[in-house]
């Protein structure tokens, strides 16, 4: 059995922390600054015969930049193709605009939704009732779980509730696959995101990024990445004249990787044409490196 859950909620409510608490390993990037989770992050964990797959989203906000637009589309898109949605909120008895928009989206999609009221370590118990009441008025949630991602209380209950939406079938991922390389995955995401940012629409959607080397050496992380595209014309566009575009993409990606990893990064990239990579790289697609719907 497996259940895919989209973690949604405004930035900074603790989605990444919660995913990490459920998965028990550091997968998502957690930071006091909002918007650190830049794109879909998949985290996986198993309890008994149930596999839990989490799609952590970058929050729900009004797009102001092209990147923001992309991030917004990611968090919206992650709603329909999942078995359950977990709306994560602050323990305040006031449903804000971002929450309203997400709830509207949930209603529209008809997906089962569980409400996680996070950070209960910061409020008095008596106050929770008002929070629960405020949200109950907005939507008929399948379950409401007050919890603290930080100290772990209530986290198992959330897993139990989400487990109810598991679908019979084979495991979606091998047990040991996902959680092993969060930083690697993050860096692939960053590189792909820079392509979305700098290239015209048509090209990046046919691309995938595979990190072929990720090694810490003397305080520097050496990263080598293959960028797959489907046509030689695309390869030319990605590289640009005299390699200018690829340099720009690489430089911007490297800077962000350094920020996220907190270490110096050397990044080398290769652009490869692989007409059939979509068929052969289903694992990339599974990890969300590639939008299968575009
Ligand atoms: P995201 O943007 O929704 O992914 O939020 P993060 O997981 O990055 O968390 C944002 C901030 O909230 C971080 O500083 C976390 O340490 C903090 N945080 C997350 N969960 C809790 C919690 O249960 N209690 C408290 N007190 N802080 C939390
Ligand atoms: Mg996050």
**Confidence band of 211 (pLDDT split at 50, 70, 90):** confident
Using one digit for the tens of pLDDT, what is the confidence trace for 80-98? Answer: 467 899 999 999 999 998 8
Cα-to-centroid distance, 290 and ligand 1 (Å): 28
pLDDT for the residue 11: 80
**Confidence band of 8 (pLDDT split at 50, 70, 90):** confident
pLDDT exceeds 80 at position 189: no
pLDDT for the residue 42: 61
**Burial level of 225, CB count in 10 A (0-12/13-18/19+)?**
buried
Q: How far apart are CA 33 and CA 249, in angstroms?
A: 24
pLDDT exceeds 60 at position 30: no
Reduced to 3 states (helix: H, G, I; strand: E, B; else coil), residue 108 is: helix
Q: How far apart are CA 108 and CA 120, in angstroms?
A: 29
Mean pLDDT of all residues belonging to the chain: 77
Query: Is residue 45 lining ligand 1, measured as CB closer than 6 Å?
Result: no
- The helix (run of H) or strand (run of E) holding residue 269 is strand 264-273
If one residue of 9, 14, 41, 60 were mutated to test the ligand 1 pocket, choosing by the most ligand atoms within 8 A of its CB, it would be: 14
**Confidence band of 45 (pLDDT split at 50, 70, 90):** confident
Query: Is residue 14 lining ligand 1, measured as CB closer than 6 Å?
Result: yes
Using one digit for the tens of pLDDT, what is the confidence trace for 141-180? Answer: 999 999 999 999 999 999 999 999 998 866 555 554 443 3
Q: How far apart are CA 263 and CA 217, in angstroms?
A: 11
Pick the more confident residue, 100 or 190.
Answer: 100
Lowest mean pLDDT among 9-23, 38-52, 129-143: 38-52
């Amino acid at each position: 059995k497996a259940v895919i859950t989209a973690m949604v909620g405004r930035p900074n409510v603790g989605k990444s922390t919660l995913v990490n608490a459920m998965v028990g390993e550091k997968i998502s990037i957690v930071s006091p600054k909002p918007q650190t989770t830049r794109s879909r992050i998949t985290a996986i964990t198993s309890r008994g015969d149930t596999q839990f797959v989490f799609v952590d989203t970058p929050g729900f906000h009004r797009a102001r930049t092209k990147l923001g637009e992309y991030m917004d589309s990611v968090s919206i898109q992650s709603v329909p193709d999942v078995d359950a949605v977990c709306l994560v909120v602050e323990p305040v008895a006031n449903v804000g605009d971002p929450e309203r928009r997400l709830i509207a989206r949930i209603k529209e999609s008809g997906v089962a939704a569980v409400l996680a009221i996070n950070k209960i370590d910061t409020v008095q118990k008596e106050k929770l009732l008002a929070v629960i009441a405020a949200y109950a008025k907005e939507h008929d949630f399948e379950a409401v779980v007050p919890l603290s991602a930080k100290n772990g209380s209530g986290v198992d209950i959330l897993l139990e509730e989400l487990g109810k939406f598991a679908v019979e079938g084979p495991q979606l991922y091998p047990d040991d696959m996902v959680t092993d390389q969060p930083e690697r995955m993050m860096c692939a995401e960053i590189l792909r995101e820079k392509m979305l940012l700098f290239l015209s629409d048509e090209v990046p959607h046919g691309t995938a990024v595979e990190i072929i080397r990720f090694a810490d050496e003397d305080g520097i992380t050496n990263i080598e990445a293959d960028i797959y595209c489907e046509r030689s014309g695309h390869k030319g566009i990605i590289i640009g004249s005299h390699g200018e575009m690829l340099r720009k993409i690489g430089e911007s990606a490297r800077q962000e990787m350094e920020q996220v990893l907190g270490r110096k990064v050397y990044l080398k990239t290769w652009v490869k044409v692989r007409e059939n990579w979509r068929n052969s790289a289903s694992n990339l697609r599974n990890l969300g490196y590639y939008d299968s719907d575009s």
